Structure 1
Amino acid sequence: MLSAERYLLLLDHYRVMDPDTIVEVSLEELAELFHCTERNVKLIIRKLEEEAWLRWHAGRGRGVRSRIEFLMSREQFLLDTAMQMAGDGDYQKAFQLMKHHGDRTAARDRFVDFLNGHFGSNRIDEGQQDQRDIFRLPVYRPPVSLDPARLFFSFDSHLIHQIFDRLLDFDAREEKLLPALAHHWESSDDARVWIFHLRKGVRFHHGTEMTSTDVCFTLNRLADGQPNRFLLETMIAAVPLDSRTVRISLSQPNRLLPRLLCSAVASILPADLVQGDPERYWQLPSGTGPFRLSRWTPERIDLAVHEHYFQGRAYLDEVQIAVMPEDIPTETRQKWGQILASDSRLTVRPEHNWGQIRTLNKGCSLISWNRRKNGPQRSIVFRQAVELAVDRWGLSRTVGEACRPARSYMPATPDFPTLERHEPETAQRLLEESGYDGRPIVLLTSPAYRNEAEWLQDRLAEIGIPLELRFESHQAIYQAELVLEADCILQNLVIAEDEVCELENYLQESSYMRQHMDESLLRWVKRNLDHLFTAHLPEQRKALLRQIEQRLLDEHQILPLIHRAMNTFVHPSVRGIDINKLGWMDFKDVWLVSEAQERSRESLVSPV
């Protein structure tokens, strides 16, 4: 990288654009340019010659200047260097290079075109019988933590699902529990004691066999002061009855426990590694999942297949995830939307023959009002006025054509369309009734929601509410001091695991919705959740959750805005893609076909 920077410095200093350009120089000039001695200049020039970027023609005789013959054009050099960086996984450095040196050249567009072919599927032949199937894709937010006990973000949850397993799985389509690490489970009549029977022969990525010791360690660790301890808040202890049997004792009945244990938060860890050297373990955590983490840097995440996965080996051999700079322009991201579940902000178009998967995001973007802080937002009349001032259909059209207005967490079914209320005149009347004095309202959000925030700022200004926008990084926005300083927060709520995700909103310590509720509302929510845990039927639990949500809506504690559309365009060679509850594709289900296989398949269905 240092040599490349020095070559670019020469190109820029002497304004060289074309190959085979020759310029006259002196060692003294180059020493000043490189801020080094003339002796070091000779070493630098020799290194650049070894890279075949230039030729050095030394001047012979007094007063005869030396010459540099540039062998690579500026544009080609930028492109080759950026491509090499991308190949090494240094995507962010490659974009920094283009940002500083290639903005006004064709090299930047050519690099984006290169990445368009670089991302996606790739088959590497290793002899006649062997081939490696690799899937590459970009993301714009690195994982914050892969510790399930500290899990909060959806991308982190998706990665945890690839690396770890849980005692049970939940089939969202069929709405039923499935065996996973546990092959059978049972409970006492009062649902205070649960017994889980573990599979034999399940191995962690580092080779040791999973036993009840690992399960008990994981669950007791989760319940002991971790940010996600709400999941096991009523657990007294998890104890091994033998190497394949675990007993969980609770302080009160909880019939939802098996469903809670399907959550990524309850992913099972290897006790020996976490206890032995936790700092080293979390650098490359080992689980029992279909993929093992083989590389984790700020720029790149590599997942290698777990050859002996107990539910069957994944088809892919490797998944490479590039962590891209967040400030990449939208038009650049659009070129890569074909392989991602892109949200509605990207108006991606597929290539010829590419398949499309479109889903409506489970969850919605919403505003949470801070009723712990003094200010006009504590008035229910003020909050109602804001709601009536918001034209959700207008916001939906601004964000993306496939978005829909939201009146609750989950999208309405086609048989029950959303009834929109947009009454700015009523909103202004309510503002007057609330005694609003015109003070600015501080809205906290992340840069990903800039369009929505600025649209809201314009709409509220029309009824006399100045909205001050404060943008913080996706990770920082959940810090307690920022949550409690803001009058309101705009974020996207993902309901990936139905009941469990809704419980997180009300019980997880870092939940901004929980932190914004006043004490009386929080106590009422907690009482309803106690009833929920003892409910026998799923329908009873759903009814209790709907009651909680309805009270939040009635009091305008939350203001749902829009349901985002998720679009994925898939190359014909990529099969098995289905968008999961987190808005991602499960890598275990992805498989690839070669061009020859695709042509053969087409011949079977083509008319003779």
Structure 2
Amino acid sequence: MRLEEHYLELYRGLRLRLTDRQAEVTLPELSQLLHCSERNVKLLLRRMRERLWIEWRAGLGRGHRSRLTFAVDPESMLAAETERLLAEGRFQEVMALTERGAFTDEGAARMDVLLREAFGYRLQPGSGTSAEGVLRFPAYRIPAALDPAYTTRRTELHLLRQLFDTLLVYDELSGRFRPGLAHEAERNEAGDRWVFYLQKHVRFHHGKPFTSRDAAFTLRRLTDPDAGSPYASLFAVVSGIECLDEHRLLVRLHAPAPYLGSLLASPAASIVPAELPADFASLPVGTGPFRLKRPNARGLILEAFADYYLRPAHVDRVEMWRWQPIRSNDGAVRLEGDNEVGELNFRHYREREEAALGPRWREVERIDRGCKYVCLNLGKPGPLNDPAMRACIFRALRDPAFVRQLGGNRGDFADTFIGYEEANGQAPYSDTGKVTDAGTSTSTSTGTGTELTGRMQTEWIVGARQAEPAEQIEPATTVVRPDRPLRIVTYPGAGHERDAEWLEGRLVEFGIAAEVEQVEYERLLDEETLARADLFLLEQPVGEDAEWTLLTILANPGGPVRRCLPVSTEREVGERVTYALRHANRERRLRDLRAIETKLIEERFVVPWYRWRQTASFPQELEGVTINALGWADYRNVWFRAGLKDEAMSSAERITP
């Protein structure tokens, strides 16, 4: 630790006892404050006196108190130390300083400015004569584990796409699957045996070559119920996996699965090495465009993988740092912000209340394809079995004033889990009653499958009695108030804290008492949590493939929606999902799955709430910035234009691939 850090630590420990920057102390006290021996304390004090940082008047005799006077402004020293560490690229140490806080409001504001200038895209000296492109941004949390078989949260799902590859890739623009680590695939006539031809000359980040053994291990782990993957039930259709040779993989199915592409292109099926390192969850190894440097509680660093089998990334390094509001010595937060959004320079979400961007800044925007939603727990007896109560909760959530009251980047109400209108301007299903493949008609008047879809609108197991339309229910007079508060269970982050607090207050306006409980994300669906919860406040991330998302919501008995349904309804959903997935035509599958989703929403078993307004704001020199389906920027395409400064280049003069 440098002498400046000892000085700041000394001031921080004594500041509450200071009078005119003076304090009476003993050597044992200073030894405890600085975590060193009394001998070392004397050496440190002597060095500080030599630099005229302190005045020291020693007490006479052992145990007598001495007088220590601070002569240098600690805020100036803190700022200078921050600037030095930033100049040396020691960002982790900078973040450690910010965690300890500033001493005054002015100091907090000064450190805020320094950090704002440090975040963003930077060109810095690299090896040889080349400059190194570094993208550095803040986040409210750093993911603890990135194992594809167990990952379900938005940030982690996004990072999987940077670290791993899948056998197939779903192309959101064309609506088709394209080759990934498998460059070709073929199936038998029955559709229950598939052979995948794998890419050659592909290596994992630790240098080992990718072979069919790795693909087989990945899929076997997902199909093994004892492995505990939340996706195991979705991959249960796989009956066997065989390596025909190093670059051919045979997959056997219990029955034809036309949706197999969605399984193999999902983040869960990201290919991992057959020999998993012991620290794989915290330091995963994939074949993707970036590899992970060892993360810690303060930050996470991705480095471009030079041996990536496709085009390597333009950016050399991506740094995500855990950002906490800087506090002054009175403990008040001086940096305004919210754990809901990323901030500063290159921002994934820019608050809509912020001032207009400067003339050299640009912005891209997208409405979240996923949503915030409330899942009503009808898996246990209670007041939510009353349809009038469910309708009341729906009305409480649909308050038009909630965006104004909560602020931030909250957007419009969501009516479905998936924002289909954001998928290239059209829904990935047909409303015309017809599909294009094989000229098959899906008119509701004919066909076994369409009869099922038609029945969805009138026949459904809902429990004790049929729900009335929510709009016709006056909650103040028709709802029987529960004899205990409803428990709203959620987890920290993603704006849940403020959302849950708002919902609690809103329900009180309807005469319904409620209380909020926060649990760790990993414990959301524990049996103990399910037994306590009445309402789950959750977020549904949605990737490029709508079918995969609907599978995770509706086809997974272990997911929150299925776990919270009445037993009879849960069984009914399972049967209808099984039938829907038999359709060879993707549009028919999606339409039937959406019919199930619609019915659950109509019965207020789940209530989609709102979608985030996602933006990325950045200097105009930064190119290739787009927001993906998960609401993050795809780092591989980001690059910095350092072209002619005195004259603009026309698009015709630029060389584009």
TM-score under structure 2 length normalisation: 0.80
Change (3 A) 1:96 1:54: farther
Counterpart in 2 of 1:376?
Answer: 383
Counterpart in 2 of 1:210?
Answer: 210
Counterpart in 1 of 2:496?
Answer: 449
3-state SS, counterpart of residue 409 of structure 1: coil
Change (3 A) 1:35 1:446: closer
Quote how far apart the aligned CAs of 1:15 are.
4.6
3-state SS, counterpart of residue 170 of structure 1: strand
CA distance in structure 2 between the aligned counterparts of 1:461 and 1:95, rounded to whole angstroms: 39
Counterpart in 2 of 1:581?
Answer: 629
1:580-604: CA deviation from partner (whole Å, max 9, x where unpaired): 111101111111123xx26256365
3-state SS, counterpart of residue 112 of structure 1: helix
The reply to whether residue 313 of structure 1 matches residue 321 of structure 2 is no
> Which amino acid letter does the alignment assign opposite residue 551 of structure 2?
L
CA distance in structure 2 between the aligned counterparts of 1:586 and 1:313, rounded to whole angstroms: 13
Counterpart in 1 of 2:9?
Answer: 5
CA distance in structure 2 between the aligned counterparts of 1:189 and 1:214, rounded to whole angstroms: 27
3-state SS, counterpart of residue 474 of structure 2: helix
* 1:91-130 mapped onto 2 (5 Å cutoff): 93-98=96-101, 102=103, 104-126=104-126, 129-130=129-130
CA distance in structure 1 between the aligned counterparts of 2:59 and 2:257, rounded to whole angstroms: 92
CA distance in structure 2 between the aligned counterparts of 1:584 and 1:49, rounded to whole angstroms: 52
Kindly indicate whether the alpha-carbon contact (under 8 Å) linking 1:24 and 1:65 is maintained by their aligned counterparts in 2. no
CA distance in structure 1 between the aligned counterparts of 2:59 and 2:626, rounded to whole angstroms: 72
* 1:225-236 mapped onto 2 (5 Å cutoff): 225=225, 226-227=228-229, 228-236=231-239
Kindly indicate whether the alpha-carbon contact (under 8 Å) linking 2:366 and 2:613 is maintained by their aligned counterparts in 1. yes
Counterpart in 1 of 2:415?
Answer: 407
Quote how far apart the aligned CAs of 1:562 are.
1.4
Structure with the higher helix share, 1 or 2: 1
> Which amino acid letter does the alignment assign opposite residue 41 of structure 2?
I
CA distance in structure 1 between the aligned counterparts of 2:608 and 2:73, rounded to whole angstroms: 53
> Which amino acid letter does the alignment assign opposite residue 317 of structure 1?
D
Counterpart in 2 of 1:173?
Answer: 173
* 1:9-408 mapped onto 2 (5 Å cutoff): 9-10=13-14, 13-15=17-19, 29-35=26-32, 40-47=37-44, 50=47, 54=52, 70=70, 72-81=72-81, 87-90=90-93, 93-98=96-101, 102=103, 104-126=104-126, 129-225=129-225, 226-227=228-229, 228-272=231-275, 274=276, 278-325=277-324, 331-332=336-337, 336-342=343-349, 347=354, 349-400=356-407, 403-408=411-416
Kindly indicate whether the alpha-carbon contact (under 8 Å) linking 1:148 and 1:265 is maintained by their aligned counterparts in 2. yes
Quote how far apart the aligned CAs of 1:188 are.
1.9
Counterpart in 1 of 2:508?
Answer: 461
Change (3 A) 1:312 1:61: closer
1:93-138: CA deviation from partner (whole Å, max 9, x where unpaired): 333311xx52x33111111111111111111124773111111011
The reply to whether residue 471 of structure 1 matches residue 534 of structure 2 is no
Counterpart in 2 of 1:20?
Answer: none
Which of 473, 481, 487 is equivalent to 2:534? 487
Quote how far apart the aligned CAs of 1:156 are.
0.8
CA distance in structure 2 between the aligned counterparts of 1:149 and 1:239, rounded to whole angstroms: 20
Quote how far apart the aligned CAs of 1:72 are.
3.1
Quote how far apart the aligned CAs of 1:561 are.
1.5
Change (3 A) 1:524 1:573: same
Counterpart in 2 of 1:599?
Answer: 645
TM-score under structure 1 length normalisation: 0.86
After superposing the two structures, state which structure 1 stretch, 246-255 or 531-540, moved more.
531-540
1:214-261: CA deviation from partner (whole Å, max 9, x where unpaired): 110111111112322133111112111111100100111101112211
The reply to whether residue 503 of structure 1 matches residue 555 of structure 2 is no
Change (3 A) 1:559 1:337: farther
> Which amino acid letter does the alignment assign opposite residue 537 of structure 2?
L
Counterpart in 1 of 2:599?
Answer: 551
Kindly indicate whether the alpha-carbon contact (under 8 Å) linking 1:238 and 1:248 is maintained by their aligned counterparts in 2. yes
CA distance in structure 2 between the aligned counterparts of 1:231 and 1:84, rounded to whole angstroms: 52
* 1:505-520 mapped onto 2 (5 Å cutoff): 505-508=553-556, 511-520=559-568
Quote how far apart the aligned CAs of 1:422 are.
8.4
1:342-370: CA deviation from partner (whole Å, max 9, x where unpaired): 27687575333211111111122111000
> Which amino acid letter does the alignment assign opposite residue 623 of structure 2?
R
1:424-456: CA deviation from partner (whole Å, max 9, x where unpaired): 96233441xxx4445321111234223332332
After superposing the two structures, state which structure 1 stretch, 247-256 or 342-351, moved more.
342-351
3-state SS, counterpart of residue 570 of structure 1: strand
> Which amino acid letter does the alignment assign opposite residue 6 of structure 1?
L
Change (3 A) 1:306 1:193: same
Change (3 A) 1:340 1:482: farther
Quote how far apart the aligned CAs of 1:206 are.
1.1
Larger RCO (CA under 8 A, 6+ residues apart) = 2
CA distance in structure 2 between the aligned counterparts of 1:48 and 1:335, rounded to whole angstroms: 42
Quote how far apart the aligned CAs of 1:550 are.
1.2
After superposing the two structures, state which structure 1 stretch, 570-579 or 57-66, moved more.
57-66
CA distance in structure 2 between the aligned counterparts of 1:412 and 1:184, rounded to whole angstroms: 29
Q: Which runs of 5+ in 1 are unaligned?
A: 18-22
Kindly indicate whether the alpha-carbon contact (under 8 Å) linking 1:198 and 1:212 is maintained by their aligned counterparts in 2. yes
Kindly indicate whether the alpha-carbon contact (under 8 Å) linking 2:139 and 2:321 is maintained by their aligned counterparts in 1. yes
Quote how far apart the aligned CAs of 1:327 are.
9.8
Kindly indicate whether the alpha-carbon contact (under 8 Å) linking 2:615 and 2:627 is maintained by their aligned counterparts in 1. no
Give the RMSD, CA atoms, in angstroms: 3.4
CA distance in structure 1 between the aligned counterparts of 2:146 and 2:342, rounded to whole angstroms: 29
Which of 440, 446, 463 is equivalent to 2:485? 440
Kindly indicate whether the alpha-carbon contact (under 8 Å) linking 1:293 and 1:303 is maintained by their aligned counterparts in 2. yes
After superposing the two structures, state which structure 1 stretch, 201-210 or 381-390, moved more.
381-390
Q: Which runs of 5+ in 2 are unaligned?
A: 328-332, 427-468, 652-657
